[in-house]
Amino acid sequence: MNATWIPLALLCAFSLATSDALAKRALQRHNEYVVLWLRLLLASPILLATLFFIPIPKPAPEFYRAMFTALPLEAVASILYIRALKVSPLSLTLPLLALTPVFLLVVPFLLLGEHISAAGAGGVLLISAGTYFLNPGTAKKGLLEPFRAIMREQGARYMLGVALIYSVTTTLGKQAVTSSSPLLFAALYIPALTLVLTPVALRQGKSEIRGMPGNGVMKAVLLPALFYAVMVLTHMTAISMTNVAYVISIKRLSLLVGVLYGHLLFGEEGAVGRVTGTILMLCGVALITLFP
């Protein structure tokens, strides 16, 4: 197996966390809908340019069905994601994305009665324990208080919604990729998502868009967009080289990097507990994805 996918997945994790941290900084001064839209818009030409350098297969009909089903869900998830970055600490919200594989595991169990493997059950327990450690200092108020503290945080509720939606769009994205190619999907999906979100940005950020480029929003979002494009390209290239589960497991290191960014760049408190919780959650993700 070509081991090149490992540094690509590591770069993917770093790029995602860096894009989110820089986007959060931009959100301190600019409208979240405009930041979201511009991050995708400025990344789109880079992704579209790859079409000149990759073989373009003829997509199967399932490709379009999966992509157009995923797009409205992805748009909702993107809005919730950027809102979470704006209103709550990175070190609290980003680790909750580790719940996506839990939803992928638990929903079929609840709806279809599919059995959860021992590794899957262990992964769920580790992710639950890690979630508890995101607010360890509140435990003195009661055993369940750390979980209640998370639910009181608006951004955490948003990110829980993102994790749930991602459990659906991940499956749809896998269908689209297997019906075409990873890089073709990336090159078309992000620009399409930009188009879907354009009316939202025009409505919610009309005054800021009118003020471009004099208000500095494009300059503030340029680096987040570049890192986002790198994240998408490295992700898609890596999954074309190895098992998707392996890539996702390494990519989830972005959650740990995001927690560290929250402490270093934004002075977020509780870094030790949240790093501990995130590591436990990452171990849980690894169990679920690598040992299904």
What is the domain partition of the chain in residue ranges?
A: 31-216+270-290
Higher pLDDT residue, 212 or 159?
159
* pLDDT of 290 above 60: yes
Amino acid 113: pLDDT: 65
Amino acid identity at 196:
V
Most confidently predicted of 33-37, 149-153, 266-270? 33-37
Q: 45: exposed, middle or buried (C-beta count within 10 Å: 0-12, 13-18, 19+)?
A: exposed
* pLDDT of 138 above 80: no
- Reported as a single tens digit per residue, the pLDDT across 35-83 is 999 999 999 999 999 999 888 888 888 899 999 999 999 999 999 999 9
CA angle 148/158/206 to nearest 5° reads 145
Region 217-236: mean pLDDT is: 95
Higher pLDDT residue, 116 or 276?
276
Amino acid 112: pLDDT: 54
